[in-house]
Amino acid sequence: MPSDSSPKASEQYSQISNAPGLGGPDRGKDLRLWGALLGRESRRREQAVRTIRALEQERWYANQVLNAITTFQPGQRASAGKSLSLLGDTRFSAPYYLSEMVAVPGGSAILGDPHFPEESPVHTVVVEPFALAQFPVTQAAYQAFVNATSRKAPRNWSGIGRRKHPRPDSLNTPVVFVSARDAEVYCEWLSSETGFTYRLPTEAEWLLAARGDNDARRYPWGNDISPRYLNAWLGQPIGNVCAVGLFPEGRGPYDHHDQAGNVWEWCSSLYWPYPYSKDDGREDPGSDSECRVMHGGSWRSRPVSVRCSARQGELPSDSFDVVGFRIARSP
């Protein structure tokens, strides 16, 4: 299992206050609704969403939340993500609930960190242009795949057998408890459905998207870290996975979100020692007996594990509660 530092049960994030300036001039009419949408009580949140649906204002409220997300504290952002899921997250649409595929120009990816033996030696790899999803694959996107193929559902979903489903307030969180093999089958299905060729990114591609061309930055946004940049175990942590894209301050150089924290992400590459070469066999991972690379860290990670260069390896048939994936596409 990915070796994130285990958080102490006593570490809690602070009590969430009512919303800041939301709703423009009409905010004064909606104080209790805003407080419920951004508060910690699920029953109040669900009641508020039912009221908003009765008023047929789901889209307006969802867009107001998204527009104000950077004004929230981390705990409020987690609650806002749950409200977005219940309201209908306007960033995603049926039938596939896909993230935008963001272009990454070809360039030189710097792999490694000289201070960590498993990340040495530091070296540069030339990467061809490709596209990478702005967010990790969400539970809603993976549910469309499970429903269409009868693929086994992740074990944290509710229900029995083929009727299993994610919680309604977590449709926009990254899907977890999926193996690298599950991710590959998902990509094959999505490719057949859309006519585009989707796949997992290589390790070099993932790092180019996270660091930028010929850049050795520590984190996707730069070299300093703050709880306002990511969902990880620092400051007053959220303490669980949250909706994608709630920390736009932590965007990478090409506008990808969540490449640090929230969930580790599978890559296509085998977890072999550096230096990396796409032609040495590590991009022909046919066996389940060799580990695959993952990057990014999770909500349970300390700062050392959310560095761009931090890498771990797990068997491609294994799945974990802190590991998801995002998809790549060649031009």
Each residue of 228-257: pLDDT tens digit? 999 999 988 999 999 999 999 999 999 999
Answer yes or no: is 66 within a domain: no
Average the pLDDT over each of 187-196, 260-269, 280-289, 306-315 and give the range with the smallest value.
Answer: 280-289
Answer yes or no: is 86 within a domain: no
Tokens of 63: 């867009």
Answer yes or no: is 92 within a domain: no
pLDDT at 5 over 70: no
Across the range 61-69, mean pLDDT stands at: 95
What does the pLDDT read at residue 286? 79
- What number of other Cβ atoms are within 10 A of residue 186's Cβ? 24
At 9, the pLDDT band (50, 70, 90 cuts) reads very low
Strand 107-111 with 123-127, pairing: antiparallel
Answer yes or no: is 20 within a domain: no
Answer yes or no: is 226 within a domain: yes
How distant is the alpha carbon of residue 254 from its chain centre? 16
Across the range 156-177, mean pLDDT stands at: 92
Answer yes or no: is 166 within a domain: no
pLDDT at 72 over 50: yes
What does the pLDDT read at residue 23? 55
Structural domain span for residue 205: 101-137+174-329
Q: In angstroms, rounded to a whole number, what is the distance separating the alpha carbons of residues 292 and 308?
A: 17
Tokens of 280: 């040495």
Check: CB of residue 141 under 8 Å from CB of residue 173. no
**Coil, strand or helix at 265:** strand
Give phi and psi for 273, each to the nearest 5: -65, 155
pLDDT at 10 over 70: no
pLDDT at 27 over 70: no
Higher local confidence (pLDDT), 268 or 5: 268
Q: In angstroms, rounded to a whole number, what is the distance separating the alpha carbons of residues 273 and 223?
A: 25
Q: Summarize pLDDT for 305-323 with one digit per residue, the tens.
A: 999 999 999 999 999 999 9
pLDDT at 54 over 90: yes
What share of the chain has pLDDT > 70, as a percent? 92
Across the range 256-271, mean pLDDT stands at: 98
Measuring CA to CA, which residue among 106, 140, 135 is closest to residue 262? Answer: 135
Amino acid occupying residue 267: C
Which of 147-161 are b and which e, b meaning 16 or more Cβ less than 10 Å from the residue's Cβ?
eeeebebbebbeeee
* 84 Cβ contact partners less than 8 Å away, ≥ 6 residues apart: 62, 65, 66, 90, 172, 243
Q: What is the DSSP string of 137-189?
A: PBHHHHHHHHHHH-PPPPTTSBSSGGG-B--GGGTTSBP-S--HHHHHHHHHH
pLDDT at 157 over 80: yes
**CA distance readout (Å), 117 to 62, 244, 273:** 45, 31, 10
Q: Summarize pLDDT for 79-125 with one digit per residue, the tens.
A: 999 999 999 999 999 999 999 999 999 999 999 999 999 999 999 99
Tokens of 157: 């979903």
* 59 Cβ contact partners less than 8 Å away, ≥ 6 residues apart: 87, 88, 90
Is the Cα torsion angle 324, 312, 269, 104 positive or negative in sign? positive
Answer yes or no: is 246 within a domain: yes
Answer yes or no: is 267 within a domain: yes
Q: What is the DSSP string of 92-123?
A: --TTT-PPPEEEE--EEEEE--TTSGGG-S-E
User: pTM for the full model?
Assistant: 0.92
Q: Summarize pLDDT for 275-310 with one digit per residue, the tens.
A: 999 999 999 877 899 999 999 999 999 999 999 999
Query: Residue 123 sits in a domain of what CATH number?
Result: 3.90.1580.10
Total structural domains in the chain? 1
Which of 235-268 are b and which e, b meaning 16 or more Cβ less than 10 Å from the residue's Cβ?
eebbbebbbbbbbeebbbbbebbbbbbbbbbbbb
What does the pLDDT read at residue 6? 43
At 24, the pLDDT band (50, 70, 90 cuts) reads low
At 7, the pLDDT band (50, 70, 90 cuts) reads very low
Average the pLDDT over each of 27-36, 176-185, 224-233 and give the range with the smallest value.
Answer: 27-36
Across the range 185-214, mean pLDDT stands at: 98
**Helix, strand, coil percentages, rounded to 5, for the chain:** 30, 15, 55
